[in-house]
Amino acid sequence: MIITIGGLAGTGTTTAAKVLSEKLDIPYLSTGSIFRQMAKERGMSVLEFGELAENDTSIDIEIDKRQAELAESSDNLIIEGRLSAYFVEADLKLWLITPFDVRAARIAEREDKTVDLAKEEIIIREESEAVRYKEIHDIDISSMDIYDLVINSGTFLPEQIADIIINTLKVI
């Protein structure tokens, strides 16, 4: 079984993937780990590699390719990444949504910054990503058409989200 979990920053995709992985006893992979591995392969820090990636679309394309290959070679895997549903043949494609203020508060706490600063950074990041996704892949990140299930992670706890996913898997 292959499952993708995507969502904007602060929606809890990593937490949901970890909890679901534990409950189903199948591994999960974060596209962030692929990014970190690629930085290591080039002898760069994640920050340095991130700066390089801003101007080198081949890095995004390589991340997308690697996650698809990993899913293809796995029988059971949860892949967490914003665009994973577009590049991975999955049995279930999930998207998490969360109110903007909740996302900003989560990011502020996680990164030890003010909520106002987190909000500013989210807006800048998401506008930039939306343009990149459209230019590189012709993907409209605001479209939910590709997803089988959309869950508001501001309403449910991670354990509850995992239970919703597991119950959904029983009917597909």
**pTM of the entire structure?**
0.89
Q: Per-residue confidence of the chain (172 residues) as pLDDT tens digits?
A: 999 999 999 999 999 999 999 999 999 999 988 988 999 999 998 778 878 887 898 998 999 999 999 999 999 999 999 999 999 999 999 999 999 999 999 999 999 999 999 999 999 888 888 888 898 899 999 999 999 999 999 999 999 999 999 999 998 8
Within a 10 A sphere around the Cβ of 81, how many other Cβ atoms? 26
d(Cα 156, Cα 25) in Å, to the nearest integer? 21
Domains of the chain and CATH, by start: 2-157 (3.40.50.300)
d(Cα 143, Cα 155) in Å, to the nearest integer? 21
Residues 6+ apart with CB under 8 A from 7: 13, 82, 95, 96, 97, 98, 153
Sheet holding 2-7, edge to edge: 28-30, 77-80, 2-7, 92-97, 149-152
For residue 77, which of 20, 134, 149, 33 has the smallest C-alpha distance?
20
The DSSP secondary structure of 58-88, one letter per residue, reads HHHHHHHHHHHHHHHT-SSEEEE-TTHHHHS
| Contact between 81 and 17 (Cβ < 8 Å) | no
